[in-house]
Structure 1
């Protein structure tokens, strides 16, 4: 029962779509109609600029932190309560009901999850972030670095004493991240993926 409650609470928090709100208030636009159409940090950065991208990034991270802490506070004796809260946040971020279930890809929210888990596993963020940053620095493909980061999370947790249920959950989250990046994977394979630093503001028609 706690799993369901935590995921519902997290979903409500995740539905607070940072990129959509920043686009509406800062740029007076619906980011779903510009650039890649994705409601995430990278599209906000490319379409609205660095400040909007940074605000979106931080707010999406904080959503996971809030979901984690809220569920941990409610279910203090259940170790995985916070993790399930973050699962709900990511689902709400990726599939917000009031935006026709079209949101972001969940990477910034996964970063928030990793930061929360780092309380007991400090080298998880260091290693996962390191792999992701190296990929981005070497290729300038944010999507590739994001996918590598997501995949590394369950691998690192598996090597620790983290509960098996938690590892399975993060495997599912990594699979979701790959699914959300399916269009990026196609563009990467065809050599048409946008690189970091390329500004793209065209309106989708």
Structure 2
């Protein structure tokens, strides 16, 4: 029951579409411009640096906060808590990517994934920040940096959960691996068009001179 509650609660938080709401406040439907999704990168490209920062922060917090609440509410179940956080994060990402009231047309879930990462492990957070920024600065491919973060998320959590770092009951490890793989897999699924363009060398590069929209 706790799993279902965390997944559904996460989905409800994910429905807070920061990019869509920010765009509407500025009389624009972000989904009709640029790449057509309501996430941070498209907001940055279409509406500028300020919009990108606001959208990232909103999507980041809507994942970070419920995951931290789960840590508090279930602190008496340490063998179970990180699994429930994964369910919560998965729910947020699903709500962000597939909001029912916007005909399931949302973002790609990377800012929401970042919130889950920070709530889970600060060491993993630092590694992801360094990897993401290094890749984006060198290649200017936000999609590539995002996908590397997704790989780090799964590899890190699978490794350290196996080593007992998160205090998970051994019987819960296969389920933990599965939910974590789904989170990482969603990033690749939502970026499947980007992957194709990366392979072909036609992926859009982000400008590091964002302007002041």
Q: TM-score, normalised by structure 2?
A: 0.86
Where does residue 170 of structure 1 map in the other structure?
A: 180
User: Is the CA contact (8 Å cut-off) linking 1:46 and 1:198 kept in structure 2?
Assistant: no
2:88 to 85, 90, 106: 85
Mind listing any 5+ residue stretches in structure 2 that lack a counterpart? none
Mind listing any 5+ residue stretches in structure 1 that lack a counterpart? 200-205
Deviation for aligned residue 1:169: 1.7
> Against the structure 1 CA distance between its residues 198 and 184, is the aligned structure 2 distance closer, same or farther, given a 3 Å change threshold?
farther
Cα RMSD after superposing both structures:
1.8
Where does residue 129 of structure 1 map in the other structure?
A: 129
Deviation for aligned residue 1:73: 4.1
Structure 1 residues 93-112: aligned runs within 5 Å: 93-112=96-115
Cα shift readout 1:41-68 (whole Å, capped 9, x = no counterpart): 0000010010011000011110011221
User: Is the CA contact (8 Å cut-off) linking 1:23 and 1:29 kept in structure 2?
Assistant: yes
For residues 41 and 106 of structure 2, the distance between their equivalents in structure 1, rounded to whole angstroms, comes to 13
Aligned length: 196
Where does residue 152 of structure 2 map in the other structure?
A: 152
Where does residue 118 of structure 2 map in the other structure?
A: 115
For residues 46 and 125 of structure 2, the distance between their equivalents in structure 1, rounded to whole angstroms, comes to 28
User: Is the CA contact (8 Å cut-off) linking 1:40 and 1:56 kept in structure 2?
Assistant: yes
User: Is the CA contact (8 Å cut-off) linking 1:44 and 1:52 kept in structure 2?
Assistant: yes
Structure 1 residues 5-24: aligned runs within 5 Å: 5-24=5-24
